[in-house]
């Protein structure tokens, strides 16, 4: 029982209901969530400029933007609560839980990129190749 108490006493600062706001702890999170917010705004714009209108890259843009905006806004909101010293909502464990859930989403997204997205790209390339030949056949029939 003593070992269990000593183990949890090491992480007691994460479970405080009203911790003090230390910039040393929250500054890396503030930078991380701010960069995540900027990425959520800039990356879809770049993808839309570089990809054709009906490509799977456009769908990828929406699959990236929504979770990044969610995680960044919730993270910035939790940092704001910590800065204002709001009880329970300023607990450091909430930011850690948010980070863990972001890492889980990131792993699932990379698995999707490796497996599902490559299939979508191949299907889209086949469809565009077939459409190109169908349009060429229609033009040839009109000339005759």
Residues 128, 110: Cα–Cα separation, whole Å: 26
pLDDT tens digit sequence for 52-97:
666 777 778 888 889 999 999 999 998 888 888 888 777 778 888 8
- 143/123: higher pLDDT: 123
Give the three-state DSSP class for 89: coil
Give the three-state DSSP class for 52: coil
Task: Give the domain ranges of the chain.
Answer: 22-143
The residue behind tokens 């990129």 is 113
pLDDT tens digit sequence for 95-134:
888 989 999 999 999 998 888 888 888 888 888 888 777 7
Q: Where does the pLDDT of residue 140 fall: very low under 50, low under 70, confident under 90, or very high at 90 and above?
A: low
Residues 135, 144: Cα–Cα separation, whole Å: 15
Give the three-state DSSP class for 63: helix
Residues 106, 140: Cα–Cα separation, whole Å: 48
Query: Which of 95, 112, 89, 119 lies closest to 28, judged by CA?
Result: 95
pLDDT tens digit sequence for 15-32:
666 667 777 778 888 999
Query: Which of 25, 109, 26, 32 lies closest to 66, judged by CA?
Result: 109
- Is the pTM higher than 0.75? The answer reads no
């Amino acid at each position: 029982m003593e070992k269990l108490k000593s183990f949890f006493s090491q992480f007691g600062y994460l479970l405080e209901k009203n911790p003090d706001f230390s910039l040393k702890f929250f500054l890396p999170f503030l930078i991380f969530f701010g960069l995540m917010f900027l990425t959520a705004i800039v990356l879809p714009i770049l993808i839309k400029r570089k990809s054709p209108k009906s490509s799977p890259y456009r769908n990828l843009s929406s699959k990236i933007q929504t979770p990044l905006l969610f995680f960044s806004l919730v993270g910035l909101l939790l940092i704001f609560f910590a800065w204002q010293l709001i009880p329970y909502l300023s607990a450091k464990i909430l930011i850690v839980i948010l980070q863990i859930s972001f890492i889980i989403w990131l792993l699932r997204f990379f698995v999707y990129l490796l497996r599902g997205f490559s299939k979508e790209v191949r299907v889209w390339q086949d469809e565009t190749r077939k459409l190109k030949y169908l349009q060429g056949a229609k033009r040839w029939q009109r000339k005759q």
